[in-house]
Structure 1
């Protein structure tokens, strides 16, 4: 029962009690990815300089000087896990291509029926899935564009819903102390509607008549819901950029179609390009949210042959839901 409660919370997000709230499908698409970006409060649309830019702002991938791969694992509530993996390849003057996979695993749940409300002994594994192909290109030395085309799927028992969607991002690097301005629109796509054999039921058309066919096959009517369309715009700047020290600050403003507007802020301090400390705050100015303080750190090392790796950790407060932890591993090649 506890796991079912948490799944319900994940599915409906922060819809209850909010203004400007509508119903959307696949709310997992709004769950932040990458321990580094999460630790910076999710204020990453203008920073966007690692593989997780494929999620926050695909235009940022064009600014990566080499290829790379990144895997992120998040431990949520009630044994729910959230995994994201992505990779990019730099094609030089032809731009950057990438792919990513998002997988939200709700764990094993026991089947219950009206006759067996305590469970039948049969288990199923609901999940959410998103697969994306990406491309990014530098139009000039300061302006980049990028986009994703993705397939979205949700499954619970024998019922599924699918959609096709796209993301678009832009990134501008100014000559004013390296100020970066980024913007992206995510999850512009088709509506989702649940379908499958579980929505077929046997129905008695008229229970008052004895002897009629009381097992007429009927299909439950399910509604279509749009994807959680989100517009982000943000700024980032290296307020300190010395040989041994770098301090990056950033802020994002979010305008979703299923919630009120909010602001994310964050910062990253890096020492000798080896150790990073991060902090931020999510969902500023948003009422009735459980999100808040974020913290984290990272270790990275580059070898002389151009190969490198990074290890990141992120912590995010969730109010009455306690907190979530995020672990990531990245490589550069």
Structure 2
């Protein structure tokens, strides 16, 4: 039943593309990477400073001291969808660094039942085939210190590839811009502008395959959709500070404001923009063991009786770092605390200084 469900969802997503350019796409790029960040509800834009900064804020890449490698795997929707991420970063000199990252979010082995019944009306299970739907995001990142002490900037260039079996494929391109600033009293401020030029996706369709789908879904009057989507810009503004207690204990507190230029159900919403806060805490002991917690995705959900109910997405995390190897775990979801199934997210970060 799960494979049938995702087959239906994939077809509906494909066939419901509007005749004009849609302004929502590539949402898989907003899920997030690094279990350490996910355990803090993604409130990391101001203090990120490792290989994963290529995703969160490329300005943080300037904090690299050596080459780093990161890997992540997680599953969503009761292990139906898989989310994988790999990244590599390296400093170029004492002022700049680069990173490459790849994200894949996909559902594999979906049953294609459009040919289940032959021309004579007979059911033939041998006519069932399988296909996959997958989204890929390849990002090249560059970060550099500015002449102003404590200030750095970063740029992302993204290539998006989306595939729905043999039915449709698309290419997309976009840019991100990030800034970080550290004050003299150790407060950190970060700004990340995603899809600043709007990320454009161009789709190509297999007309024969689409005709088969349209015949299989009778009465829907579906036509081949237009072939363009855009991702509207988003803005993340964050601040954080790390407190040290008795040399061995630390507490990192972070707040992010996620801004979308639209009116929706976010905690603060106007006709111009909506603002969704995210709060994250990380308690560390001797820079060896870390406990994390966070809350984000605050939504004013409309109930049946027209009242509004505030929902949010909590998260928890645990990390261990030793001699250049860091393993992190997060317990979170991609919805709120009452709707989506929770997922176990694991990530690995390797600092190449371990080999030197």
Q: TM-score range by the shorter chain?
A: 0.7 to 0.9
Q: How many residues align?
A: 303
Per-residue deviation, 1:223: 4.7
Is 1:144 aligned to 2:145, yes or no? no
Contact 1:112 1:118 in 2 (8 A): no
Report the aligned-residue RMSD.
2.8
Q: TM-score w.r.t. structure 1 length?
A: 0.83
Per-residue deviation, 1:224: 2.1
Is 1:327 aligned to 2:327, yes or no? no
SS in 1 for 2:339: helix
Contact 1:49 1:63 in 2 (8 A): yes
Give 1:234-313 correspondences, 5 Å limit: 234-240=238-244, 242-257=246-261, 259=264, 260-285=274-299, 287=301, 292-302=313-323, 308-313=324-329
Residues 5 and 253 of structure 1: CA distance in aligned 2, closer, same or farther (over 3 Å): farther
Per-residue deviation, 1:296: 0.7
Contact 2:244 2:251 in 1 (8 A): yes
- The answer for the alignment partner of 2:89 in structure 1 is 88
Is 1:171 aligned to 2:180, yes or no? yes
**Partners of 1:276 and 1:327 in 2: how far apart?**
14
Give 1:76-155 correspondences, 5 Å limit: 76-78=76-78, 79-93=80-94, 95-113=96-114, 116=117, 120-139=127-146, 140-155=148-163
Is 1:71 aligned to 2:71, yes or no? yes
Q: TM-score w.r.t. structure 2 length?
A: 0.77
SS in 1 for 2:173: strand
In the alignment, structure 2 segments of 5+ residues that lack a partner are 14-21, 118-122, 213-222, 265-273, 303-309
Per-residue deviation, 1:38: 0.2
Give 1:176-255 correspondences, 5 Å limit: 176=185, 178-188=186-196, 189-198=198-207, 220-240=224-244, 242-255=246-259
Residues 3 and 45 of structure 1: CA distance in aligned 2, closer, same or farther (over 3 Å): farther
Of stretches 255-264 and 47-56 in structure 1, the one that deviates more from structure 2 is 255-264
Contact 1:268 1:276 in 2 (8 A): yes
In the alignment, structure 1 segments of 5+ residues that lack a partner are 13-21, 204-218, 303-307
Residues 161 and 297 of structure 1: CA distance in aligned 2, closer, same or farther (over 3 Å): same
**Partners of 2:244 and 2:56 in 1: how far apart?**
24
